[in-house]
Amino acid sequence: MWTKDEWFPIIQSRMTEKRYVHTLGVAETAMELAKIYGEDVQKAEIAGLLHDICKYADKAWMADQIKAHHLDATLLDFHHELWHGPVGSVVARDEFGVEDEDIRNAIHYHTSGRAGMSKLEKIIYVADMIEPNRNYPKVEKLRDLAHKDLELAMRYGVRHTLQHLIKQKQTVYPDSLFCYNACWT
């Protein structure tokens, strides 16, 4: 059962203070966007609060979880940064009792994105990029877009993410490419 008072200290204990502040920022921003775009505000809050629950989980443990829960095994060939979303969606269900598939998908795909994202998935993806503690060139432009047009914000958000990965000479997980193609067609 959803009791915030119990969740906050648990979430806080799993991450750095900076990440906890980010987490609260994502939850607040996701609620704001949910109000604008007619999404369930409480679902947005739950997804925001839990999206980075596995950000600092042990890498070997996450690799085991990916195998044990039959998550996409090719994740293991990509940067471990991509693992905390899918594993977080399992932890949300098993430790926090979140059964709602849309909330779990929003946690699962918040880093990679994917084709055919739901409104809640888009809200969390974008909120993660624009919450008040985020600071990078163009964040203001994305914040502005996010409050006017969620589709357009996704379009620019995913392009920004892909450009960043390519600039850093990192590989691109296929779901991110599918997300990009879905946003730009």
- Enumerate binding residues for Fe ion (CB under 5 A): 52, 128
Nearer to Fe ion, 45 or 52 (CB): 52
Nearer to Fe ion, 85 or 93 (CB): 85
Least separation, in Å, of the C-beta of 26 and Fe ion?
6
Q: DSSP label at 57?
A: S
Backbone region of residue 70 per phi and psi (left: phi > 0; alpha: psi in -120 to 50; beta: other values) = left
CA angle 17, 11, 77 (to 5 degrees): 90
Least separation, in Å, of the C-beta of 51 and Fe ion?
6
Least separation, in Å, of the C-beta of 185 and Fe ion?
26
Least separation, in Å, of the C-beta of 83 and Fe ion?
10
Nearer to Fe ion, 38 or 128 (CB): 128
Rg (CA), the chain: 15
CA angle 26, 32, 37 (to 5 degrees): 120
Residue that the structure tokens 């964040």 belong to: 139
Q: Is the sign of the CA dihedral 121, 168, 90, 5 positive or negative?
A: negative
Nearer to Fe ion, 52 or 121 (CB): 52
